[in-house]
């Protein structure tokens, strides 16, 4: 990752699960001049600086308290920044359904602010994190992230031929991240019963290490306007429950507002403009007004077949109960080595 040497990187939502993991990898594997952690949660900044990146060991880390809703604060934070990873979002489906205005202000308004600040400050490349729920969305969270994705793709036209480049990475449920099903099941295990929304439910599963690797790899491959979709396994919700707490009973409590039984990362309509590679897909922009040349990767990607759909219930790769159980709590032990392998 020589391109990161002496570079300045800013991570919005940098005190979250992804932000911390990404920060650790960047600090361990590149000669960054500066890493800016941008987040609105003051206490998380304090904990991160005290426990993970103390100033005496990581003098290049800066903690910038701010909200992506605040355009002026973002612009101030991005002065001199080379690369931006936009991870800040309001992401809980049920909370977004109940608080739609707040979700829109953060996920759509915040995305627009990140784009404008990046353009104003001369940022070179921006990667925005997305979600499988942005593909054929049925809930507000997914709809806001789809809108955010469209904004980032179209931002390449605003920057012109020689300006900032913007791209998106879209992936599924992050294993053991804050608010995900694994810590939720672990918190309920003592009761002897795990609540299951729908016994047929399936989800795409990605680890934090894999998510970081996807972002780093996307920075190297992007030419502007792409949506990167990794090839990752699926898991059944009942198998996750068995892996976390095999001694517990399960109780079906019904699907939550805005929730799908199965997730899709690449619907048929988007597959028409998608190229397939060994470990990922690239959804190409429907127009490339910022460049007259075809992207370099187009020559070695394979167009998806007519009618193709990449969904969690028809995915050819599945995680068994034993594999899921082995993944629980193993991220901290094997994390850095696995990220390095996936980026290479």
Candidates 133, 145, 242, 260; catalytic one? 133
Name the pairing type of β-strands 264-266 and 310-311: antiparallel
Which residues have CB under 8 Å from 321's CB, separation 6+?
239, 242, 243
Sheet of 234-236, strands arranged across: 173-174, 202-206, 234-236
**Is there a contact between 127 and 215 (Cβ–Cβ < 8 Å)?**
yes
Residue 6 in 3-state DSSP? coil
CA distance 299 to 178: 39
Decide if 133 is catalytic.
yes
β strands within 144-191, DSSP E: 165-171, 173-174
- Going from the C-alpha of 304 to that of each of 134, 230, 269, the distances in angstroms are 20, 14, 11
Widest pairwise Cα distance in the chain: 61
Take residue 88 and report the two structure tokens written for it: 């800040």
Q: How many CA within 13 A on the CB side of residue 244?
A: 27
Nearest to residue 259, comparing CAs of 193, 181, 316, 178?
181
Nearest to residue 103, comparing CAs of 155, 141, 75?
141
Nearest to residue 304, comparing CAs of 255, 339, 265, 271?
271
**Is there a contact between 18 and 45 (Cβ–Cβ < 8 Å)?**
no
Residues annotated as catalytic (active site), given as ranges: 133
């Amino acid at each position: 990752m020589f391109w990161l040497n002496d570079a300045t990187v800013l991570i919005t939502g940098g005190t979250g699960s992804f932000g911390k993991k990404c920060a650790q990898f960047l600090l361990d594997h590149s000669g960054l001049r500066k890493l800016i952690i941008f987040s609105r949660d003051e206490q998380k900044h304090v904990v991160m600086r005290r426990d993970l990146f103390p100033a005496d060991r990581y003098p290049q880390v800066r903690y910038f308290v701010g909200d992506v809703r605040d355009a002026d604060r973002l612009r101030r934070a991005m002065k001199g920044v080379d690369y931006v990873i936009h991870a800040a979002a309001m992401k809980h489906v049920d909370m977004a359904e109940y608080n739609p205005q707040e979700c829109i202000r953060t996920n759509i308004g915040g995305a627009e602010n990140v784009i404008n600040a990046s353009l104003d400050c001369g940022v070179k490349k921006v990667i925005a994190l997305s979600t499988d729920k942005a593909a054929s969305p049925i809930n507000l969270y997914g709809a806001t992230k789809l809108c955010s994705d469209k904004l980032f793709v179209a931002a390449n036209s605003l920057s012109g031929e020689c300006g900032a480049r913007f791209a998106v990475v879209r992936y599924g449920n992050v294993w053991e991240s804050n608010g995900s099903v694994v810590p939720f099941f672990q918190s309920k295990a003592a009761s002897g019963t795990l609540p299951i929304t729908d016994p047929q439910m399936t989800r795409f599963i990605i680890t934090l290490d894999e998510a970081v690797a996807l972002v780093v790899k996307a920075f190297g491959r992007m030419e502007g306007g792409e949506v990167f979709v990794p090839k990752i396994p699926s898991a059944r919700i009942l198998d996750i429950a068995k892996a976390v707490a095999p001694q517990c009973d399960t109780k079906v409590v019904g699907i939550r507002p805005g929730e799908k039984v199965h997730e899709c990362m690449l619907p048929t309509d988007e597959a028409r403009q998608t190229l397939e590679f060994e470990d990922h897909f690239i959804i190409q922009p429907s127009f490339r007004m910022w460049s007259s040349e075809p992207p370099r990767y187009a020559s070695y990607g394979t167009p998806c077949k007519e009618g193709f759909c990449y969904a969690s219930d028809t995915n050819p790769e599945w995680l068994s109960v034993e594999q899921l159980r082995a993944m629980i709590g193993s991220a901290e032990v094997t994390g850095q080595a696995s990220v390095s392998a996936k980026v290479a």
